[in-house]
Amino acid sequence: MDGGFSLPPTRRLLGGPPLAGGREPLAEHRRRLGNPARGLTGEELIEALETSGLLGRGGAGFPVGAKWRRMAEVGQRRPVILVNGAEGEPLSAKDRVLMGVRPHLVLDGAALAAEALDAEEIVVYIGEEHGAARESIEQAIAERLVAGEGFGRPIRLVAAPMGYVSGEASAAVNRVNTGSALPTVSPPRPSEVGVAGRPTLVQNVESLAYAALIGMFGADWYREMGRLGSRGTALVTVGGEVARRGVREIELGMSLGELADAAGADRGTTRAVLVGGYFGSWIDAAEAWSLPLDPAIMRERGLSFGCGLVWFLPGGACPVAATARIMAFMAGNSAGQCGPCVLGLGAISNAMSGLAGGDGSKDDLARIERWAGMVRGRGACRHPDGAVEVLTSALRTFPAELEVHAGGTACGTTASCRRAA
Amino acid sequence: MDRELRVDWIACEAFGMCHDLAPDLVALDDWGYPILPSPSEVAARAGDVQRIIDCCPARALSLVRRDGRTQGRRQQRSIGAVPHQGPRLRA
């Protein structure tokens, strides 16, 4: 877990006992971090979150303090806190790991949000496939009740069905309200009309865990970490061709090259790195190593830190085939409600598969580029936008490989490409 | 106030009526779904815009204020009003 730290290891998202030990019990959690109360008022906590600069960790990176502030000020009804642990990203594991090993940090954040916003209810929303995470949270809630630590309001668990869009904020609210985890049209936003018609704070589990830490140690403590523009640490999921896969905590601003070395990636043979998730971007290895893993700087460069996924594509894999697989997943995971998303992603996916398999042409490549523009921004949720993001990054990063494939043959130089063909 | 012409993408069935009525205002994509005009075009063509909204068979078009947030302040309540022993903030 070498994340490039100079700070005491206890006060981190994954600080404390070894992760292999599983769920940290309540008593140990409290011994290690103290009581999250710290004598703050709700207003002071919201101010601390605003000052900290904490950005949401669910993918969109919206400032957490501003989100809570809006909830505190807008609307006449008591809100609902929706703890979002529906991690639909197929390659990401950081939310389920956090819930599995540090459930009390997540619950502290949820409890503080509920207190600060005077919430009616807390709903914990966890992917049905994340059995260990759900069990850990369930046990942690039970443990609190036994210890006489209630939440002062009802708390319940709702299972998120499998699927990429289940964790989208409006889909999460819809699931709780109607049982259907499909996104709905916005406005109204969940922050205005959400669970049971109440204003609803939909907040990712890592964001809530950090809100709890900021409640305990303050905004200045949070701001001590972070090397460049963005403050704090973040959970990342490292995957692909590396020696040490898995979830780790990094100081924001750490370079991608440093993470590659820590995880045992071979800089020499890596062709590209997928950063941010299936909503993210391919980055050419030639430009990757100096890239700071910093949401603010990445945004300036048109990239997204997203859910913190960092996935290494080796030189021995065909990037066209890899991208075709992502597009097939994104097309298959459309909620099926909006025409441009269903038909557009379907068309793009088919064309990409054709290219990957060596049945494509230059016309297909041109069509894919045109369709990208016809899909972006044209759905009830941002699923099509995210899919196009990763697609356009592939067009930008792999022009040579795409050119070869558009010539009517699979590039044939790699095992994965031959498999696709 | 600037207003934006919006499609409810879930409701839209690609009838194409909007394009038929105002082809220079609304284009269609490769699958028959509308590509909408900018707010300045919307402002300049208010009559045509209203007509395509009214004629959409799926009732999928609407005008939305661009800052479309509901307003109104909720009174700040003292927190921790419900007694419990969990993580507490100072009231």
CA distance linking residue B66 with residue A315, whole number of Å? 46
CA distance linking residue A303 with residue A297, whole number of Å? 8
Instruction: Residue A188: list chain B partners with CB under 8 A.
Output: 70
**Residue A374 to residue B88, Cβ atoms within 8 A:** no
Query: Would you say residue A211 lies in a domain?
Result: yes
Residues in chain B: 91
Find the residue in A nearest to B63 (Cα): A187
Q: What is the pLDDT of residue B5?
A: 94
CA distance linking residue A214 with residue A140, whole number of Å? 21
Asked if the C-beta of A346 comes within 8 angstroms of chain B's C-beta atoms, the answer is no
CB A231 within 8 A of CB A48: no
- Provide the angle, in degrees to the nearest 10, between the axes of the packed helices A103-116 and A26-33: 70
Find the residue in B nearest to A108 (Cα): B87
Query: Would you say residue A381 lies in a domain?
Result: yes
Q: Which residue in the set A112, A115, A340 is minimally distant from B33, CB to CB?
A: A340
Which two three-digit tokens encode residue A181?
């985890």
Q: Are residues A71 and A183 in the same domain?
A: yes
Q: Are residues A171 and A261 in the same domain?
A: no
In terms of C-beta density within 10 A (0-12 exposed, 13-18 middle, 19 or more buried), how is residue A58 classed? buried
Q: Are residues A266 and A339 in the same domain?
A: no
Number of folded domains that form chain A: 3
Radius of gyration of chain A (CA): 22
Q: Are residues A133 and A282 in the same domain?
A: no
Asked if the C-beta of B77 comes within 8 angstroms of chain A's C-beta atoms, the answer is yes
Q: Are residues A300 and A155 in the same domain?
A: no
Q: Are residues A160 and A117 in the same domain?
A: yes
Q: How confident is the model at residue B90 (pLDDT cuts 50, 70, 90)?
A: low
Instruction: Residue B13: list chain A partners with CB under 8 A.
Output: 339
Q: What is the pLDDT of residue A165?
A: 87
Give DSSP secondary structure letters for A219-237: HHHHHHS-SSSS-SEEEEE
**Residue B72 to residue A188, Cβ atoms within 8 A:** no
**Residue B88 to residue A337, Cβ atoms within 8 A:** no
CA distance linking residue A153 with residue B43, whole number of Å? 48
Topology of B3-65 in CATH?
Alpha-Beta Plaits (3.30.70)
Q: Are residues A97 and A115 in the same domain?
A: yes
Which two three-digit tokens encode residue A108?
């502290």
Predicted-complex ipTM score:
0.76
Structural domain boundaries, residue A330: 319-420
Through-space distance between the first and last CA atoms of chain A, rounded to whole angstroms: 39
Instruction: Residue B91: list chain A partners with CB under 8 A.
Output: 41
CB A183 within 8 A of CB A165: yes
Q: What is the pLDDT of residue A219?
A: 95
Q: With a cut of 60, say whether residue B83 has pLDDT above it.
A: no
Q: Which residue in the set B9, B71, B82 is minimally distant from A152, CB to CB?
A: B82
Radius of gyration of chain B (CA): 21
Name which of A176, A139, A184 is nearest A160 in CA terms: A176
CA distance linking residue A265 with residue A198, whole number of Å? 47
CA distance linking residue A95 with residue A237, whole number of Å? 9
Q: Are residues A139 and A191 in the same domain?
A: yes
Instruction: Report in angstroms the alpha-carbon separations of B74 from A77, A343, A347, A362.
Output: 7, 43, 47, 58
In terms of C-beta density within 10 A (0-12 exposed, 13-18 middle, 19 or more buried), how is residue A243 classed? exposed
**Residue B64 to residue A35, Cβ atoms within 8 A:** no
The CATH number of the domain where A339 resides is what? 1.20.1440.230
The CATH number of the domain where A65 resides is what? 3.40.50.11540
Over residues B47-54, the mean pLDDT reads 95
- Give the minimum alpha-carbon distance from B29 to chain A in angstroms, rounded to a whole number: 6
CB A168 within 8 A of CB A48: no
The CATH number of the domain where A306 resides is what? 3.10.20.600
Q: Are residues A122 and A50 in the same domain?
A: yes
CA distance linking residue A172 with residue A207, whole number of Å? 16
CB A29 within 8 A of CB A105: yes
Name which of A169, A61, A80 is nearest A122 in CA terms: A80
Which amino acid makes up residue A77? Answer: R
Q: Are residues A104 and A196 in the same domain?
A: yes
Q: HSE on the CB side for A223, CA within 13 Å?
A: 9
CB B76 within 8 A of CB A43: yes
Residue that finishes a domain, picked among A205, A224, A243 = A224
Q: Which residue in the set A152, A371, A380 is minimally distant from B9, CB to CB?
A: A380
Which amino acid makes up residue A4? Answer: G
Which two three-digit tokens encode residue A218?
């303050």
Q: How confident is the model at residue B64 (pLDDT cuts 50, 70, 90)?
A: confident
Q: Are residues A250 and A346 in the same domain?
A: no
CA distance linking residue B50 with residue B27, whole number of Å? 17
Residue that finishes a domain, picked among A294, A314, A334 = A314
Which two three-digit tokens encode residue A367?
């069509």
Q: What is the pLDDT of residue A48?
A: 96
Q: What phi, psi does A85 have (nearest 5°)? A: -115, 30
Query: Would you say residue A302 lies in a domain?
Result: yes
Q: What is the pLDDT of residue B73?
A: 32
Q: What is the pLDDT of residue B34?
A: 96
Q: With a cut of 50, say whether residue B86 has pLDDT above it.
A: yes
Q: Mutate which of B79, B82, B85 to disrupt the A interface (most A C-beta within 10 Å)?
A: B79
Find the residue in B nearest to A381 (Cα): B9
Q: Across-strand partners of A310? A: A238, A275
Give DSSP secondary structure letters for A266-286: -TTTEEEEEESSTTSEEEEHH
Through-space distance between the first and last CA atoms of chain B, rounded to whole angstroms: 40
Q: What is the pLDDT of residue B91?
A: 59
CB A226 within 8 A of CB A249: no
Give the residue ranges of chain A where pLDDT is below 70.
Answer: 1-8, 37, 75, 412-421
Q: Across-strand partners of B7? A: B61
Instruction: Residue A112: list chain B partners with CB under 8 A.
Output: 87, 89
Query: Would you say residue A299 lies in a domain?
Result: yes
Q: Are residues A338 and A274 in the same domain?
A: no
- Give the minimum alpha-carbon distance from A116 to chain B in angstroms, rounded to a whole number: 6
Query: Would you say residue A7 lies in a domain?
Result: no
Own/partner contacts of B42-50, CB < 8 Å, gap of 24 or more, are B42/B3, B42/B4, B42/B5, B43/B2, B43/B3, B48/B21, B48/B22, B49/B5, B49/B25
Q: Residue A18, by phi and psi: left (phi above 0), alpha (psi -120 to 50) or beta?
A: beta
